[in-house]
Structure formats: structure tokens, C-alpha cells
């Protein structure tokens, strides 16, 4: 059985990726499943650099076909902040909690009018062979607005989904409220994974 290592320490992200790749003829495992506990220092200046860095490290460490991603929140009026620093926006020395990040975002935008509160979630996926060769990358994003108050629902590990509102749907970017059709169209991680599926299938000979 072919194995794909999903290299993330975010439990919510791991579950979501497993769900979106469940139709592939391949065993999906996480870092804990293969006994890897090390974190990779994300020194890249872009999402793509960090995704490739993580996927390459864990592929060589595990000897497995490896998928990693990096992404974050980009606020238009703040010229793309926090970007690659999305989880270390407040303090570069530690990852802030979801609630800290939500509160900090609204503090930064307290004087910004409703018409200028555009923002997007963007991510890059990297697929790396067991020997460390980069096979493919894929990028997707979803743009919306930051309303004056956040959603009441929270999803651990996804703070910015509670503050990104999609006007065309009349919903926050909350995967639990999406219909199947809305997930297909609006979930940026699913769309990025769909781009990589042909490469994964080709690699495992399916």
C-alpha cells in the first residue's frame, strides 16, 4: 500500500486534508503516526518557500511521499499583513492563540471603514518525493471581507476563518455551514488539493 505523509501539526488541518484526499488509493498518515515529533523552523519569506521547506524535511526524515502546506491571512489595507507571520503576528517568538489573533486583527482595523476591510486566506501546497525531490506545488486563495464583529463559532487552529466573511454567500468561511456545492467552490484547501491529485495518482501508479 502506498503511503502519503501529511506533514502538519494542526489536528484540524490534518482531518480536513484526509477528508479531501479520502478518494485516493493511498494510505494517509500524519506525523504522529510515523513517530515524528520535530517541528521545522519556517524560515521562508513566502508561503511556497515554507511549504517546500516543510515537505522536503519531512519527506527525507520519513522516507515517504510527503504533502505539506503553508498559508495565512492577508489583509488588503495592511498591505498583505500578517501573511507568512499569520500565527506569529503578535509575537515573533511564539504562536499566539486563536482568540489573541482574532482580537488583535480587530484592534488593527478599528478605524478602518466597512468598505475597505477586504482580506483573503491563501495557501500553497507542496508535494515532495521520499528522496526530497519537489514534485509539484499548488496555490489557492479565497477573498472576502472582515466585518465589524467576528463569527460566534470558532474552529481550533483556524482563527481567521472566524473573521473572513464571504458576501456572495452571506456566510463566514465556516466549513461546517457550507453545502457540498459551496465546499467544492469555496474551500481553498480542497481546490488546491484537487490540483495535486493527478500528480499523487501518477506517482503511485494509479
Catalytic residue among 33, 70, 76, 98: 70
CB 67 within 8 A of CB 5: yes
CB 67 within 8 A of CB 125: yes
CA-CA-CA-CA dihedral for 104, 110, 114, 120, to nearest 10: -20
Cis? peptide before 82, omega within 30° of 0: yes
**Does residue 70 have an active-site annotation?**
yes
CB crowding 115-150: b at 16 or more within 10 Å, else e:
eebebbbbbbbbbbbeeeeebbbbbbebebbbeeeb
Question: Which are the catalytic amino acids?
Answer: 70
Amino acid at each position: 500500500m502506498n503511503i502519503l505523509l501529511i506533514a502538519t501539526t494542526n489536528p484540524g488541518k490534518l482531518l480536513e486534508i484526509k477528508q479531501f484526499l479520502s478518494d485516493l488509493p493511498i494510505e494517509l498518515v500524519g506525523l504522529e503516526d510515523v513517530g515524528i515529533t520535530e517541528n521545522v523552523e519556517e524560515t521562508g519569506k513566502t508561503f511556497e518557500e515554507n511549504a517546500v521547506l516543510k515537505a522536503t524535511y519531512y519527506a527525507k526524515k520519513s522516507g515517504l511521499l510527503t504533502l505539506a502546506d503553508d498559508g495565512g491571512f492577508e489583509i488588503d489595507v495592511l498591505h498583505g499583513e500578517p501573511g507568512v507571520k499569520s500565527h506569529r503576528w503578535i509575537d515573533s517568538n511564539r504562536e499566539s492563540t486563536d482568540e489573541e489573533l482574532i482580537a488583535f486583527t480587530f484592534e488593527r482595523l478599528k478605524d478602518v471603514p466597512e468598505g475597505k476591510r477586504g482580506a483573503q486566506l491563501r495557501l500553497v501546497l507542496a508535494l515532495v518525493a521520499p528522496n526530497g525531490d519537489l514534485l509539484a506545488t499548488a496555490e489557492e486563495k479565497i477573498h472576502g471581507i472582515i466585518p465589524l464583529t467576528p463569527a460566534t463559532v470558532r474552529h481550533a487552529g483556524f482563527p481567521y476563518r472566524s473573521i473572513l466573511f464571504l458576501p456572495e454567500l452571506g456566510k463566514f468561511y465556516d466549513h461546517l455551514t457550507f453545502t457540498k456545492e459551496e465546499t467544492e467552490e469555496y474551500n481553498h484547501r480542497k481546490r488546491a488539493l484537487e490540483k495535486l491529485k493527478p500528480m499523487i495518482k501518477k506517482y503511485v501508479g494509479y
